[in-house]
Amino acid sequence: MAAIVSISLVAGCSLLGEESSDDAGPIVVGTTSAPSTLDPAAAWDGSWELFRNIYQTLLSYPTGATTPQADAAECVFTDSTNRTYKCVLREGLTFSNGDKLDAKAVKYSIDRIRAINASTGPNGLLGTLESVQANGEREVVFRLNKADATFPFVLATPGMAIVDPDDYPAKSLRKDDGIVGSGPYRLQSYEEGKQAVLVRNDNYKGFAERKNDAVTIRYFQDSGKMVKALRARDIDITYQGLAADDIIDLGRKGGDNEGLQLIEAAGSNINYLVFNPKDPWSNKLAVRRAIAQVVDRAAIAHKVYKDTVDPLYSMVPAGLTGHTTGFFDSFGDPDAKKARQILKDAGINETVPLTFWYTSDRYGSDTALEFKELKSQLEASGLFAVTLKNRPWNSYVLGYQKGEYPVFGRGWAPDFPDADNFIAPFVGDQNALGTPYPAQEITQVLLPRSREVSDRANVAKDFEEAQQILVRDARLLPLWQGKQYIASSEDVSGGERALDPSTIMMVWELSRKTSW
């Protein structure tokens, strides 16, 4: 549930009044999360935040839903083994340019993701898909190579966006800055790294009830500049990337915060470190376990993020079935002496040199401070010498996909709200991190077994076992779990309803007030 903290002198007044259209112009959203691409076949990242509002998927999450519901289609498993999934499209669907959206377009879109198989794309989500069949104008049948109760969640991700076959090449990525989708909005204009202008798509047929006619999304590289723009009323609402100091400052009443409100919601996004097995030092289990023994998550949460995040001791965040505290159970509190003994037992007596990489413009301005704190903690142990390096997100992604970084930081907002999505994307020979991690007991036993179970409340044991393996291998090191903060003008409502279960903003929920 979202909590609204008024930071004006008139507490809670943003919830009063009537909704209006955009007589005062489009609602302007500020974020530090710019798309890396406009082509769904190349995106398994925050580009989905734009896609959710412009492209359409077969299933989605109406406000308040935590399981996939009908969007472009009604869908159901037609067998008891969770291996045949049938979708029937709504009648009369078209793309924003007027072209027909039929079963062939859906098959084309999914087959295209698999044919292109972009290193940064969502093909990894389709590991259980055997084939797609288009039957007539409106029926699509997905046949899976094994049981997969999570497949409806996959189809609800923006990565499975339906594209127009006439505008997207079958075996290569679209090169220009255009989008042809069938979602609630169409992309009127786009300036990379600066802004996306969205206007109502009059051809849209789906679940979304749009409470505005137009939204402009502005992209910032710095949280402070974004907050300054909010206070100057150059933007109406912020989403993604508020720095901890800015959140704390926005929580104070009066002064520069007059007429603003801060919305806090539970979050399932996580932050973690990845160790590259190609690196001679990161490849050593003792090195990874020693780092796990030294890292002080509570200090990071308090000193860097001012307690706007919580320490995390498993890859599955709190609030989801299967969450554990495995890393705390195994390592306890930070202890340099224990870390030294771990290294000594492995015959490592010299200072371990490592290079830690992070993105300079993706997760907010605090990322650099977080990595400075990590460097300080590790070097204070006397066991490590850490060099910090960073790149902008677009080139950062390419670097870790090529295996260039010994240790690197990643954030993860779920593709769908299930523990499977906090384990499966990071294991296997091909995964979302570009660092092969076979983990055969997880990939060949635990995940397949859990996917046979439709009632996801009954899979906790498999995920707990999987996380014990992750702790044992220490290839991934969870650091913290985030909360969601949205700051906005008090004359804008809907922020508390606008986040889907993957914490992506559904901008159609935003509206202005016409009276108080």
Token look-up 């340099």 returns 336
User: What tokens were used for 467?
Assistant: 């996380």
Provide the pLDDT for residue 362. 80
Please tell me whether residue 224 adopts helix, strand or coil conformation: helix
Cβ 192 vs Cβ 112: under 8 Å: no
- Angle, nearest 10°, between helix axes 336-345 and 285-294? 170
Q: What percent of the chain has pLDDT over 70?
A: 95
Token look-up 């092969």 returns 436
d(CA 209, CA 335): 53
* CB neighbourhood size of 433 (10 A): 21
Q: How far apart are the first and last CA of the chain?
A: 25
DSSP 90: P
The pLDDT mean for the chain works out to 91
Which DSSP string corresponds to 338-378?
HHHHHHHHTT--SPEEEEEEEESSSS-TTHHHHHHHHHHHH
* Statement: residue 60 has pLDDT above 60: yes
* Statement: residue 501 has pLDDT above 70: yes
Over residues 272-284, mean pLDDT: 97
d(CA 329, CA 335): 14
* Statement: residue 516 has pLDDT above 70: no
Q: Which of 57-66, 79-88, 348-357, 397-406 has the lowest mean pLDDT?
A: 57-66
Over residues 421-429, mean pLDDT: 92
Band of residue 266 on the pLDDT scale cut at 50, 70, 90: confident
Provide the pLDDT for residue 18. 43
Q: What are phi and psi of 266, to 5 degrees?
A: -60, 145
Provide the pLDDT for residue 5. 42
* Statement: residue 326 has pLDDT above 60: yes
DSSP 300: I
Type and span of the H or E element at 410: strand 407-412
Provide the pLDDT for residue 432. 83
Stronger pLDDT, 110 or 61, i.e. the higher one? 110
Pairing relation of β-strands 139-144 and 84-89?
Answer: antiparallel
Type and span of the H or E element at 450: helix 447-450
Cβ 471 vs Cβ 327: under 8 Å: yes
Tell me the one-letter amino acid at 509. E
Q: What are phi and psi of 74, to 5 degrees?
A: -95, 130
Provide the pLDDT for residue 371. 98
d(CA 315, CA 328): 12
Cβ 31 vs Cβ 195: under 8 Å: no
Over residues 213-218, mean pLDDT: 98
* CB neighbourhood size of 78 (10 A): 10
Closest CA to 494 of 158, 212, 232, 228: 212
Return the beta strands (E) in 122-184 as ranges.
129-135, 139-144
Provide the pLDDT for residue 363. 81
Type and span of the H or E element at 387: strand 384-391
CA-CA-CA-CA torsion for 272, 277, 280, 286, nearest 10 degrees? 60
Cβ 59 vs Cβ 52: under 8 Å: no
Return the beta strands (E) in 257-296 as ranges.
260-265, 270-275
Provide the pLDDT for residue 480. 98
Band of residue 437 on the pLDDT scale cut at 50, 70, 90: very high
Band of residue 16 on the pLDDT scale cut at 50, 70, 90: very low
User: What tokens were used for 172?
Assistant: 């290569």
* Statement: residue 305 has pLDDT above 50: yes
d(CA 147, CA 291): 38
Provide the pLDDT for residue 119. 84
Please tell me whether residue 79 adopts helix, strand or coil conformation: coil
